[in-house]
């Protein structure tokens, strides 16, 4: 039976799971209802589905039934399952039950796909080549979960507690992940070799001046005006210090300070994000921000302190895996495969897996059937065509049942 046929057998389950996940969106690392529902469904699959609860999620281990396949290259499949602090406005029959929270990034669909794979593999042991581990991960939206999950898994010796992974070597575990993408035509499978997602750095800039009455600004050192000049000057870094060919985005999204409109505050805190192609670009932007901070401070008579924290490295897709995946998927889905030729400025903490083992993340076009209305990821009206869930399961099945070169460890 081909992969798509296996996936179609559980289509109703996939839709049910996705809708149930969608109604209980939870954020960050604390997902009690999501975990409980997922664990109950996994335990119902029987003893072949070994379920282990971790701080950053739930890990499922499914071993092959014969010794030959047990020695072949193992797979680790990552599916994120956290939501966002967004008030849902979709008017779906299965909308979020929680005020101010929503699955606005498709992770409800991701989790359903992972659950579907667990069901198919446990029920059909003859199709499995190599060990398969399915990691249901919390905290992707905060870019925290994968770092913790990687630290909890010793990826080829079984669970050993909170120990870091050994650097990947040929023939060892392969990590695969997906992301639904409403900006791509429905059913398109976008595969990229090399860097897929941007490196993410968090920025925090503290402006400290001399407070006073808003009617007498000449007696103050105004951190608000200094902050405004800083934001304007910082935007020139990308346009005037980087080549147009270097991908980078610098955005500020949070300002805090002051209590009343007629008092110049002592302190303003500005927070933002830097998305870039890697270390060189991040270092250049960091250096220029420090220079601008010094100049702004001197000009306005305030102190300016800039703090930059690397939040998440770039997602790196192994070139050999990308080519292998294209060749495998073209046998069953030849018209759906496209090469992705740009770096996405969004971050994804699957990057932590790609640092320690051969990894591949692909994007699946999930645009709505209403082609004139496309709501992006993180929109309060985001939804996707559930028909895509069957295709997503089939993609993973095609890959994990076509072990690359049938390598043995």
The DSSP line for 248-283 is EEEEEEEEE--SSTTEE-SEEEEEEEEEESSHHHHH
Instruction: Please state whether 139 falls in left (phi above 0), alpha (psi between -120 and 50) or beta.
Output: left
SS3 144: coil
Q: State the maximum Cα–Cα separation within the chain, in Å, rounded to a whole number.
A: 82
Question: What is the predicted pLDDT for the residue at 367?
Answer: 77
Sign of the C-alpha dihedral, residues 284, 286, 292, 294? negative
For 206-241, give one letter per residue: b (16+ CB within 10 A) or e.
bbbbebbeeeeeeebbbbbbbbbebbebbeebbeee
Question: pLDDT by residue (tens digit) across 204-242?
Answer: 999 999 999 999 999 999 999 999 999 999 999 999 999
- Reported pTM: 0.91
> Does the pLDDT of residue 103 top 70, yes or no?
yes
Q: Which of 388, 343, 405, 406 is nearest to 178 (CA)?
A: 388
Distance in angstroms between the alpha carbons of the first and the last residue of the chain: 28
Instruction: Point out which residues pair with 362 in neighbouring strands.
Output: 178
Alpha-carbon gap, residue 100 to 398, rounded angstroms: 38
Among the options 26, 88, 140, 141, which is catalytic?
A: 141
Question: What is the predicted pLDDT for the residue at 130?
Answer: 83
What is the arrangement of strands in the sheet containing 199-208, beginning at the earlier edge strand? 248-256, 267-276, 199-208, 303-312
> Does the pLDDT of residue 113 top 90, yes or no?
yes
Cβ contacts of 260 within 8 Å, gap of 6 or more? none
Cβ contacts of 199 within 8 Å, gap of 6 or more? 275, 276, 277, 278, 279, 281, 282, 310, 312, 313, 314, 347, 351
Pairing type for strands 359-365 and 174-181 reads parallel
H-run or E-run covering 307 = strand 303-312
Mean pLDDT of the chain: 91
Question: What is the predicted pLDDT for the residue at 170?
Answer: 44
Among the options 80, 108, 152, 222, which is catalytic?
A: 80
Retrieve residue 222's tokens.
């105004």
Pairing type for strands 199-208 and 248-256 reads unpaired
Question: pLDDT by residue (tens digit) across 373-393?
Answer: 789 999 999 999 999 999 999
Retrieve residue 170's tokens.
């040929």
Question: pLDDT by residue (tens digit) across 318-331?
Answer: 999 999 999 999 98
In contact, 191 and 333? CB cutoff 8 Å? no
Instruction: Point out which residues pair with 4 in neighbouring strands.
Output: none
Indicate the DSSP class of residue 369.
Answer: S
Alpha-carbon gap, residue 191 to 174, rounded angstroms: 16
Question: pLDDT by residue (tens digit) across 183-206?
Answer: 998 999 999 999 999 999 999 999
Active site residue 80: yes
């Amino acid at each position: 039976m081909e992969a798509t046929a296996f996936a179609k057998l559980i289509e109703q389950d996939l839709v049910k799971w996705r809708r149930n996940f969608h109604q209980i969106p939870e954020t960050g690392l604390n997902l009690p209802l999501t975990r409980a529902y997922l664990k109950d469904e996994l335990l119902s699959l029987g003893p072949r589905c070994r379920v282990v609860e971790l701080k950053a999620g739930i890990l499922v281990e499914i071993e092959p039934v014969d010794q030959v396949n047990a020695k072949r290259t193992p797979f680790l499949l990552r599916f994120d399952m956290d939501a966002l602090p967004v008030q849902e406005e979709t008017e779906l029959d299965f909308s979020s039950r929680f005020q101010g929270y929503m699955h606005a990034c498709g992770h409800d669909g991701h989790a359903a796909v992972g659950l579907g794979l667990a069901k198919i593999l446990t029920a059909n042991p003859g199709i499995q080549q190599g060990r398969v581990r399915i990691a249901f991960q919390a905290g992707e939206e905060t870019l925290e979960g994968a770092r913790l999950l990687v630290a909890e898994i010793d990826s080829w010796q079984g669970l050993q507690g909170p120990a870091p992974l050994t650097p990947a070597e040929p023939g060892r575990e392969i990590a695969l992940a997906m992301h639904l993408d409403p900006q791509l035509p429905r059913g398109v499978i976008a595969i990229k070799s090399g860097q897929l997602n941007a490196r993410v750095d968090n920025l925090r800039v503290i402006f400290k001046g001399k407070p006073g009455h808003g009617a007498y600004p000449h007696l103050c050192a105004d951190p608000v005006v200094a902050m405004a000049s800083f934001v304007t000057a910082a935007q020139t870094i990308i346009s005037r210090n980087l080549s147009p060919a270097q991908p980078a985005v610098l955005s500020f999204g949070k300002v805090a300070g002051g209590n009343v409109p007629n008092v110049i505050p002592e302190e303003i805190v500005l927070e933002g994000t830097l998305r870039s192609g890697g270390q060189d670009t991040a270092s250049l932007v960091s250096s220029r921000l420090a220079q601008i901070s010094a100049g702004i401070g001197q000009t306005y008579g305030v102190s300016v302190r800039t703090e930059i924290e690397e939040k998440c490295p770039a997602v790196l897709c192994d070139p050999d895996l990308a080519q292998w995946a294209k060749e495998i998927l073209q046998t069953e889905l030849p018209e759906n495969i496209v090469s992705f030729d740009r770096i996405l400025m969004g971050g994804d903490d699957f990057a932590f897996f790609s640092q320690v083992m051969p990894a591949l993340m692909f994007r699946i076009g999930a645009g709505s059937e209403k082609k004139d209305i496309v709501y992006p990821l993180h929109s309060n009206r985001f939804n996707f065509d559930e028909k895509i869930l069957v295709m997503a399961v089939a993609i993973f099945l095609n890959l994990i049942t076509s072990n690359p070169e049938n390598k043995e460890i």
